[in-house]
Amino acid sequence: MESRQAPAPIELLVELRDVVKIHRDGAVRALDGVSLKIPAGQSLSIVGPSGCGKSTLLNMIGALDAPTSGEIRFRGVPLTAIRAPDRLRAREIGFVFQTFYLLPNLTARENVQMPMFGDGRSDSARVERAETLLALVGLADRAGHLPSQLSIGQRQRVAIARALANEPALILADEPTGSLDSRSGAEVMDLLGRLHTEHGTTLVVVTHDAGVAARAERVVRMLDGRIVADDVSG
């Protein structure tokens, strides 16, 4: 009888254990005992009504905020044991926000280069990487344009290119289509989906849009700071 090799274990990229976040001197319990495991390479959407804790949860996953209690691990290491969480964010995590946060006096090419400063790359290597990423998001011909010279959808694509600057293992997108019309929103989600499927990037999207949420392999539903449903597509 032939012996079958056991499948390789799936790497757990992020894990939250009973995470609580309390704001405003205890008056607001933004997260109330949240536990969540995110395997490497998964696409996940977080949905729920305004104020349910979606963005707070995303900030916890991205090490932008610390829990009041509970534990968060990245690749099995507690965030409290990581001496430089800013370096973790710079190297491992790419952020895409609804409001883009592009520097208005810098070109698209220069905005994409921003996360690469301090990582030892030469000026020419940064420029080459930025232009490669802009081509990836369909903006090779807009590299020298300022944000004010770009459409809203194009600005969001620049923000995605910037998020990819250091080849992160994890992309966190907070309402990435919230400022876009339906066509531009669909283009942005097509792009994020392609990055996930073709590059194996772990993708977590916070959204109120059911259509956007349905694109993910897994949908986590929140209410009043708690996870109330966790559905994985077949």
Mean pLDDT of the region 129-154: 95
Q: Give me the pLDDT at residue 127, please.
A: 95
Where are the chain's structural domains? 42-52+84-232
Other beta carbons within 10 angstroms of residue 24's beta carbon come to: 8
* Structure token pair of residue 141: 């011909």
Mean pLDDT of the region 150-155: 94
CATH number, domain 42-52+84-232: 3.40.50.300
Share above pLDDT 70 across residues of the chain, in percent, rounded to a whole number: 94
Instruction: Please give the C-alpha separations between residue 125 and each of 108, 131, 136, 168, 181, in angstroms, as whole numbers.
Output: 16, 10, 16, 17, 35
Tens-place pLDDT, residues 162-208 = 999 988 999 999 999 888 888 888 998 999 998 899 888 999 999 98
> Is the pLDDT higher at 4 or at 134?
134
Residue 8 above 60 pLDDT? no
DSSP the chain: -PPPPPPPPPPEEEEEEEEEEEETTTTEEEEEEEEEEEETT-EEEEE-STTSSHHHHHHHHTTSS--SEEEEEETTEEGGG-S-HHHHHHHHEEEEETT----TTS-HHHHHHGGGTTTT--HHHHHHHHHHHHHHTT-GGGTT--GGGS-HHHHHHHHHHHHTTT--SEEEEESTTTTS-HHHHHHHHHHHHHHHHHH--EEEEE-S-HHHHHTSSEEEEEETTEEEEEEE--
> Is the pLDDT higher at 183 or at 2?
183
Q: Give me the pLDDT at residue 1, please.
A: 44
What mean pLDDT, rounded, does the chain reach? 90
Tens-place pLDDT, residues 44-91 = 999 999 989 999 999 999 999 999 999 999 999 999 999 888 888 888
> Is the pLDDT higher at 234 or at 139?
139
Tens-place pLDDT, residues 206-215 = 998 999 999 9
Residues 96 and 102 sit within 8 Å (Cβ to Cβ): no
Tens-place pLDDT, residues 83-127 = 888 888 888 999 998 888 999 999 999 999 999 987 778 999 999
**How far is the C-alpha of 114 from the C-alpha of 219, rounded, in Å?**
32
Record the pTM. Answer: 0.89
Sign of CA dihedral 98, 74, 42, 232: negative
CA 218 centroid distance within chain: 15
Residue 26 above 90 pLDDT? no
**How far is the C-alpha of 67 from the C-alpha of 122, rounded, in Å?**
37
